[in-house]
Amino acid sequence: MVQVKEIRIRPNTGDHDLLTKLNKAQKFIASGAKLKVTVMFRGREMSRKEAGIALLKRVTDILEDVAKIDKAASMEGRRMSIILSPR
């Protein structure tokens, strides 16, 4: 059975907080789990979806040596998510 771990971030998450979460993400991927990265939008942030796309792009760039994209970015209500799997 494949386990899916999730990391949730906001469009305006700070650099250090993001790197801390991505260190945890690397441990999830190293253990063989798939990773779902979700960007949660609230209020006016919905009008800036491109900020969410840029953030997910940055996440995939940081994790590209350990993970590959299973499912590209998609919007589900107020959440935008991608699924990554171990290389």
pLDDT over 90 at 1, yes or no = no
87 pLDDT tier (thresholds 50, 70, 90): confident
Please report the domains of the chain, with CATH numbers, ordered by start residue: 4-86 (3.30.110.10)
pLDDT over 90 at 78, yes or no = yes
Chain mean position to CA 45: 17
29-67 residue pLDDT tens: 999 999 999 999 999 999 989 999 999 999 999 999 999
pLDDT over 90 at 2, yes or no = no
| Residue 37: exposure state from Cβ atoms within 10 A (0-12, 13-18, ≥19) | buried
11-28 residue pLDDT tens: 998 999 999 999 999 999
